[in-house]
Amino acid sequence: DAGITQSPRHKVTETGTPVTLRCHQTENHRYMYWYRQDPGHGLRLIHYSYGVKDTDKGEVSDGYSVSRSKTEDFLLTLESATSSQTSVYFCAISGEGVSYNEQFFGPGTRLTVL
């Protein structure tokens, strides 16, 4: 299994509070992604990174920001959480060479915004 961890694994927070989710990889892969999973929508891309300090928006980026100061860490921040951001969040990574056309996923973080 690819070495990807997410923290926290579960979080309950209140509307209006800031929340940061962390993705950590030990594979030294260049590309990292944040998705959210909601019933009927599959996985939708929030933001992705193609290198340290290089990030770009995905399909559903409104209300989210990201940062990547080290190869191994990719942070997702909800500046002011809303109930519509209640979801399961997945981090994924992909590399170059043989594995570049496959994504490996972390275990997911279940976030509930009350």
If you search the block for the tokens 């997945």, which residue do you land on? 90
From 3, 11, 58, 65, residue interacting with other proteins (rule: CB under 8 A) = 58
Verify binding: residue 101, other proteins, rule CB under 8 A: yes
CA atoms within 13 A on the CB side of 104: 21
- Both tokens of 51, joined, read 């290198």
63 touches other proteins by CB under 8 A: no
Indicate whether 10 belongs to the interface with other proteins (CB under 8 A).
Answer: no
Residue 105, interface with other proteins (CB under 8 A)?
Answer: yes
Min separation Cβ 65 and other proteins, Å: 16
Residues 38-57 close enough to bind other proteins by CB under 8 A: 40-45, 48, 50, 56
Contacts of 91 (CB under 8 A, 6+ apart): 4, 6, 21, 23, 32, 33, 34, 35, 74, 76, 105, 106
Summarize as ranges the residues that interact with other proteins (CB under 8 A). Answer: 31, 33, 35, 40-45, 48, 50, 56, 58-59, 88, 90, 92, 94, 101-103, 105, 107-108
